[in-house]
């Protein structure tokens, strides 16, 4: 079984220490194989904020870290760095690969960079990125859970999230669905969700995470992360998607929602 912990919008530099420590305890409790960071690791893309994020990632024993930058991981006020070396501090802490991939017997995880140096908030996907991901999805094994992660969402939760939607080819979602994607992870909106979306003959799952440890919660949503569990012995018939919310009273993350996500095969 692969256990994947999705941590999004941590915003180190604006983190709440008690929530950060509770997330570490959750990771020690659940022992994920993979921790995927779906962007906005930092609040202002400063070196010390990336260092704090890296130290936290390294404090989770046994978990493999896979990360991508979000729009907050590009300098905002230093225009020279933003234009000339937008990912310098990110790369120093999390490596040079901005679109990493991870492949296990029962998991194919593809991270897609949606940030652009000329955009402050909005994300973008190019036709070349859409096709590259589709080609990798077509190569997946039937036993693999096929997960694509972006920072900004491909599909908004409701009307108030329309402004956060990715600028991308109109057929991006259907192209990935036809290529075999099961789950699309995202962040950015700080509003968790787990929704089934029917795409013709196939269904895919849109899984968004809230802000994991920062004070920048929205719409009275608590801090939250997602845990995905997938067993290859089940021949990829389903995966379990769990939303874990931070509970103020207990000072711990608790499982607030459990979805048995049936997969199209």
Would you kindly state where each structural domain of the chain is located, as residue ranges? 2-262
Taking residues 132-139, what's their average pLDDT? 98
State how far the Cα of 44 lies from the Cα of 23, in Å rounded to an integer: 21
Taking residues 211-237, what's their average pLDDT? 87
DSSP-derived 3-state class of residue 148: strand
Architecture of domain 2-262: 4-Layer Sandwich (3.60)
Confidence (pTM)? 0.94
Taking residues 17-45, what's their average pLDDT? 97
State how far the Cα of 60 lies from the Cα of 79, in Å rounded to an integer: 34
State what percent of residues in the chain have pLDDT above 90.
77
Confidence band, pLDDT 50/70/90 cuts, at residue 158: low
Residue 255 pairs in a beta bridge with 244
Structure tokens at 244: 């874990």
State how far the Cα of 259 lies from the Cα of 256, in Å rounded to an integer: 10
pLDDT exceeds cutoff 70 at 242: yes
Q: Which residue has the higher pLDDT, 155 or 85?
A: 85
């Amino acid at each position: 079984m692969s256990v994947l912990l999705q941590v999004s919008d941590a915003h180190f530099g604006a983190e709440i220490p008690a929530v950060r420590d509770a997330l570490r305890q959750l990771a020690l409790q659940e022992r994920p194989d993979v921790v995927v960071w779906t962007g906005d690791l930092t609040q202002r893309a400063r070196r010390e904020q990336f260092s704090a994020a890296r130290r936290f990632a390294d404090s989770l024993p046994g978990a493999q870290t896979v990360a991508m930058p979000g729009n907050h991981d590009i300098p905002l006020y230093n225009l020279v760095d933003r234009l000339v070396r937008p990912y310098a501090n990110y790369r120093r802490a999390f490596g040079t690969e901005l679109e990493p991939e991870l492949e296990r017997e029962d998991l194919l995880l593809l991270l897609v960079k949606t940030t652009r140096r000329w955009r402050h908030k909005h994300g973008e996907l190019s036709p070349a990125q859409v096709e590259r991901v589709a080609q990798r999805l077509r190569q997946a094994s039937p036993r693999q859970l096929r997960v694509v992660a972006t920072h900004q969402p491909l599909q908004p939760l409701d009307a108030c999230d329309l402004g956060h939607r990715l600028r991308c080819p109109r057929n991006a979602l259907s192209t990935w669905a036809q290529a075999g994607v099961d789950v699309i992870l995202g962040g950015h909106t700080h509003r968790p969700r787990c929704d089934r979306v029917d795409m013709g003959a196939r269904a895919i799952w849109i899984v968004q995470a809230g802000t994991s440890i920062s004070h920048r919660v929205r719409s009275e949503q608590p801090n939250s992360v997602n845990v995905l569990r997938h067993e290859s012995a089940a021949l990829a018939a389903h995966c379990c998607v769990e939303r874990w919310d931070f509970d103020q009273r207990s000072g711990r993350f608790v499982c607030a929602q459990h979805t048995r996500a049936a997969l199209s095969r």
